[in-house]
Amino acid sequence: MARDQRTDPDVIVIGAGPAGMMAAIAAGSLGARVLAVEQMAQPGRKLLLTGNGRCNATNSDTPQRFIEACGPGARFLNNAIRRFGCRDTVAFFAGLGIELKLDDGHAYFATSGGAAAVLRALVRALERQRVRLVTAAAATALRWSRPGFELETSAGVFRAARLVIATGGRSYPATGSDGSGFALARALGHMVSPLLPGNAPLVLAGAWHQALQGISLPDCRLSFEAGGRWHAHGGGLVFTHFGISGPAALAASRTLAPLLAYGPVEARLDLLPGVDQSRLAGMLTGAAAGAARKQLKGLLGALLPRRLALAIIDRAGLRPDGPAGQLGADQRQRLVTMVKRYPLSVAATRGFGEAMVTLGGVDTAGIDPITMESRAVPGAHFCGEMLDVDGPCGGYNLQIAWTTGHAAGSACGRAAAGSSAR
């Protein structure tokens, strides 16, 4: 496969999402001639959805805390996150004219313009680095032979010595993140671990939860047993027509998704995590004593949304209009148990259509953790959701995109510089 050294780019980046744009900018900043190929009509479609349009670009975690929050698979990032971590992301975007501000003591959001402003800044950076961006160009075939790669797309055939595959996972496929890049990875000989939807709402078995649709809790704790130990995820929660959503449900889905392949998972909700069982029992006893004629639904309704209180009383086998002052010790304990261990059966996640991230991907054992380069095919690099690395909500997955994209693009830029020097 002959390359035209005068016109062919040094680097082809497949995918112009967050990781791909970062890779292209990093390579271009080191003098490489870069071509970015995007199958959608515009770049960064998925970026516009992040943080509900506000773009939770990163967080305040140290590298060690970042890796711990993402789980064992994130150890792969140990080197790269220390070279381009959360602080570097804030500085990078400041250089593009985008101020990222700490919003809740942990998450960084764009101070104005949200995700749209972040995307515009990235596109301007591509232009400054003279990255050629070709859109509406779906990759159809990839060939590798020394001295490089030949990529067939719906917009033509392109050749380069270096390649970055940054096509994303399978979450939100309508944005172009349809998993097509994994076929390219397999064609290059890479193992791809099973792909599952992560950070997704949860579908509950039965129909009882439909009566609770629209109820929002600022804080609760969702727990379940797996692998011989209990897993617990806290945060806000919303009851929906299909089950539950919100931070607690999304966080739990990363652990639940693999388990749900074998059937429903029994779980429980702590609806008042800030109050332990003995204190809650005391609160109910004291409230009942102070208003002996008050109905039970009014007693519990002072602590929780009324519809949820009615559901708890019903599942505890009690009468909502029964007098609170006549609540026996056994009945009170049943009520406390239901508040602290509200039972539910998780049947499924809402799938890739509503998942924020893809679990699984290219096995990182086959990837150099410093350069994101394939150990099997020199010159091919992977980044972003292509890799079998993911994190919870809260800026983690975008930071993984920035970190791995920067590592891959920088490696390509250095290689191009070394090649031109020779």
Residue 418 clears pLDDT 60, i.e. is over it = yes
Question: Nearest-CA neighbor of 348 among 217, 249, 281, 420?
Answer: 249
For residue 134, the surrounding DSSP H or E stretch is strand 132-134
Mean pLDDT, residues 256-265 taken together = 95
Burial of 95 (0-12, 13-18, 19+ CB in 10 A): exposed
Residue 5 clears pLDDT 60, i.e. is over it = no
User: CA dihedral defined by 402, 408, 411, 416, rounded to 10 degrees?
Assistant: -110
CATH superfamily ID and name for 201-350: HI0933 insert domain-like (1.10.8.260)
Peptide bond into 147 cis (omega under 30): yes
Residue 290 clears pLDDT 90, i.e. is over it = no
* Sheet with 139-145: strands ordered across: 139-145, 148-153, 156-160
Residue 125 clears pLDDT 80, i.e. is over it = yes
User: CA dihedral defined by 165, 66, 406, 38, rounded to 10 degrees?
Assistant: 40
Mean pLDDT, residues 130-144 taken together = 96
Query: Which is more confident, 228 or 19?
Result: 19
Q: What is the pLDDT of residues 222-234, one digit of tens each?
A: 999 988 889 999 9
pLDDT in the model for residue 291: 66
Residue 161 clears pLDDT 90, i.e. is over it = yes
Residue 421 clears pLDDT 80, i.e. is over it = no
Beta-carbon contacts of 399 under 8 Å, excluding residues fewer than 6 positions away, are 57, 58, 59, 66, 81, 85, 86, 89, 391
- Sorting pLDDT into bands at 50, 70 and 90, what band is 2? very low
Q: What is the pLDDT of residues 84-106, one digit of tens each?
A: 999 999 999 999 999 999 988 89
* Spatial distance between the Cα atoms of 245 and 350, rounded to a whole number of angstroms: 10
- Sorting pLDDT into bands at 50, 70 and 90, what band is 3? very low
Q: What is the pLDDT of residues 294-352, one digit of tens each?
A: 788 888 888 999 999 999 999 999 888 887 777 788 888 999 999 999 999 999 999 99
Look up residue 250 and give its two tokens. Answer: 């999304």
- Sorting pLDDT into bands at 50, 70 and 90, what band is 420? low
For residue 268, the surrounding DSSP H or E stretch is strand 265-270
pLDDT in the model for residue 267: 97
Contact 48, 70 (CB under 8 A): no
Q: What is the pLDDT of residues 145-155, one digit of tens each?
A: 877 999 999 99
Query: Which is more confident, 413 or 328?
Result: 413
Question: Nearest-CA neighbor of 33 among 416, 419, 418?
Answer: 416
Mean pLDDT, residues 236-244 taken together = 97
Residue 237 clears pLDDT 90, i.e. is over it = yes
Q: Write the DSSP symbol of residue 184.
A: H
Write the DSSP assignment of 88-133 as a string of letters. Answer: HHHHHHHHTT--EEESSSSEEEESSSHHHHHHHHHHHHHHHTT-EE
pLDDT in the model for residue 327: 77
CATH value of 11-196+357-421 in 3.40.50.300, 3.20.190.10, 3.50.50.60, 3.40.50.1100: 3.50.50.60
Q: What is the pLDDT of residues 31-80, one digit of tens each?
A: 999 999 999 999 999 999 998 899 999 999 999 999 999 999 999 999 99
pLDDT in the model for residue 288: 67
Q: For the chain, which residues make up each domain, given as ranges?
A: 11-196+357-421, 201-350
pLDDT in the model for residue 401: 98
Contact 151, 159 (CB under 8 A): yes
Beta-carbon contacts of 22 under 8 Å, excluding residues fewer than 6 positions away, are 122, 383, 401, 402, 405, 406, 409
Query: Which is more confident, 27 or 289?
Result: 27
* Spatial distance between the Cα atoms of 248 and 222, rounded to a whole number of angstroms: 6
Percentage of the chain lying above the pLDDT 70 cut? 96
Describe the crossing of helices 396-421 and 86-95 by its angle, rounded to 10 degrees.
70
- Residue 341 CA from chain centroid, whole number: 28
Mean pLDDT, residues 257-272 taken together = 95
Burial of 216 (0-12, 13-18, 19+ CB in 10 A): exposed
Indicate the range of 107-121, 275-289, 341-355 predicted with least confidence. 275-289
Q: What is the pLDDT of residues 309-322, one digit of tens each?
A: 999 999 999 888 88
Residue 4 clears pLDDT 70, i.e. is over it = no
